[in-house]
Amino acid sequence: MIETERLILKPLTYDQLVKYIKCDNSLEEELDLNKTSRTISAELTEAFEKTILPNVADTSKNYLYSTLWTAISKKENKMVGDLCIVGEPNPDGEIEIGYGTYDEFQNQGYMTEIVNGIIEWAKSQPIVKSIIASSDKVNAASFKVLEKNNFIRIGETETSFNWKLVMNTRTIT
């Protein structure tokens, strides 16, 4: 669990992910949260089926690098958005993140705070050297989140910008 000024970031277990997908507020009930009006996109549903659930179920992997981290507003006791790390660090120590804020909580700075919380957590993981992300070119809010968290644009495709944040190098004295 990660705590920021306004949020608690909670990595979901396999059983909690199954409840999350149902969108029937069973997860909110389990976590003793107020109900939310979240929905799941077809893209996220596919990611759950093909990647997230199988990786979290694989006990040989550290599930923290594959699960959904849900962000809970301390003030409202509601889920406001989510972030997922897309697998364990690659041989270069890179992890990739993807994220989204629920409609009713957009434009309130939550995602900037969520990404910052994951950055701080990643800094405490010796194997993580950098974080990469991509944002749709038409989604200005998404790339502003990355810019505010000191990501540098490293490239682009026809539809998206690619970003990278290099962790502070650690020196042993």
Query: For every one of its 173 residues, what pLDDT tens digit does the chain have, with 9 covering 90 and above?
Result: 999 999 999 999 999 999 999 999 999 999 999 998 888 888 888 989 999 999 999 999 999 999 999 999 999 999 999 999 999 999 999 999 999 999 999 999 999 999 999 999 999 999 999 999 999 999 999 999 999 999 999 999 999 999 999 997 554 44
How many domains does the chain divide into?
Answer: 1
Residues 6+ apart with CB under 8 A from 62: 88
Q: Does any domain span residue 172?
A: no
pLDDT at 173: 47
* pLDDT attached to residue 44: 85
Q: Residue 160: inside a domain, yes or no?
A: yes
Boundaries of domain holding 91: 2-166
Quote the pLDDT of residue 169. Answer: 56
CATH number at residue 157: 3.40.630.30
Does some domain include residue 31? yes
On whether residue 100 sits in a domain, the answer given is yes
SS (H, E, C) the chain: CEECCCEEEEECCHHHHHHHHHCCCHHHHHCCCCCCCCCCCHHHHHHHHHHHHHHHHCCCCCHHHCCEEEEEECCCCEEEEEEEECCCCCCCCEEEEEEEECHHHCCCCHHHHHHHHHHHHHHCCCCCCEEEEEEECCCHHHHHHHHHCCCEEEEECCCEEEEEEECCCCCCC
pTM across the whole model: 0.92
Assess if residue 171 is contained within a domain: no
